[in-house]
Amino acid sequence: MNEWDKLHRQAKRYKAEYPPGTRIMLLSMGEDIQRVEDDTRGTVLAVDDIGTLHCQFDNGRSLGLIPGEDSFRKLTEEELAEEQDQDMDEDEDENFGMKM
């Protein structure tokens, strides 16, 4: 198997494991000058044909993560539930007051 076939198979696996909308946490990055801070959460936008995960991070940054070079993980069900609770609390706070 040549290198392209290997990358293509890995990319297929990453596309299945990290579909668009998957929430992740960046644990650490490789030697990237434009690095995103460790422990930043984000959302997968797409996985390209060589397996790079293109993400939109909660701090407003967008960057591609390279499996094997960058360390990241999916958020757990508990973490996702906490995020939803926080979003609901923020919505309630915004709608609490009435406009006159």
DSSP 61: -
- Report the distance separating Cα 35 and Cα 51, nearest Å: 19
CB 57 within 8 Å of CB 41: yes
pLDDT in tens, 24-42: 999 999 877 888 999 999 9
- pTM for the whole structure: 0.81
pLDDT band at 19, cuts 50/70/90? very high
Q: What is the pLDDT of residue 100?
A: 46
Give the residue numbers spanning the domain of 65: 3-96
**If you write DSSP's letter for every residue of 3-21 in order, what string do you get?**
HHHHHHHHHHHHHHHS-TT
Domain CATH code at residue 36:
2.30.30.100
Q: Of 23-32, 41-50, 77-86, which has the strongest mean pLDDT?
A: 41-50
Indicate whether 97 pLDDT > 60: no
Q: Which residue has the higher pLDDT, 82 or 30?
A: 82
How many structural domains compose the chain? 1
